[in-house]
Amino acid sequence: MRDVPKMTVDFNVKKNGSVALLPGCIPGATLYHHSVMAGSTLSLEPGPFHHILILISGDVEFSTDGNSYIFHERVSFVPNPKLSVDIKALTDCHLIEVRWEWQEGDDELAAEYKTQFPHIQIYRNAKQYRDRNKSEKTISRSVIDQRIIPRFAFGSVETYGVDAIKSHDHPMLDQYFFSFPENEMDVLIDFEPIPMKGNELLYIPLGSMHGVDVKEGQHCHYLWIDFYPDNELALKRLDASHIPTGKHVEFDPKTGKLKKE
């Protein structure tokens, strides 16, 4: 079996802590798992990077720039990179942080994008899109679009078996997959299957052919997290392949079928 960087993230931990996840795979990017127990606060200081925070489980209060924001569901929260952010756990919380370093040219891109911070996206309300590599029943979500944070985007894929994502490559996009707890699927790397359960982080080798196979009875639900070695080509690729549906659909978890609109 091919040696592809992959690790399990321990969401059963019952103490405060921060763990770096697969460091060194993507230049300028470091992912962390933050566990923050009820009543505790984690403070993150500003630096030459973005704190892209993804609440996986728990109830949380984010505080930054004199304002507080409370969430009881999956959400992404990106504070102003020039300001600190406090993460107060109202219940035991688990978050994934993407710490993405600024590079030359990012100031110009940020000025062009005019993103208002904090940038907040409730997961269940994220824009849905269609692309040519996925079946009609697959739900694809764009959580942070490609022109919000310079050289970065992330979203998700959800479907039930039997289904598949066609193998494809994108040498202009460096990528991680992170699987939600309910996920079960095989990731195909250069057509070799790699089983991926829940709470796992997988690095997709840059330029590799990759796809997904979902067998009968399996629930595929994962985040794709993209970084752009070539910004211009990456934007062209995402603009062409992520076509908004203009609709919002959901699966019935009991049947694994799309709910009727």
Q: Which residues of 148-184 are buried (b: 16+ CB within 10 A; e: fewer)?
A: bbbbbbbbbbbbbbebbbebeebebbbbbbbbbeebb
Q: Is the peptide bond before 118 cis (omega within 30 degrees of 0)?
A: yes
Supply the pLDDT for residue 1: 57
Query: Tell me: the pLDDT tens digits for 27-55?
Result: 999 999 999 999 999 999 999 999 999 99
| Ranges of each domain in the chain | 10-124, 126-246
CB contact at 8 A, 247 and 136: no
Global pTM value: 0.96
Q: Judge whether residue 110 has pLDDT over 90.
A: yes
| Domain 10-124 superfamily per CATH | Jelly Rolls (2.60.120.10)
Question: Domain 126-246 falls in which CATH fold?
Answer: Jelly Rolls (2.60.120)
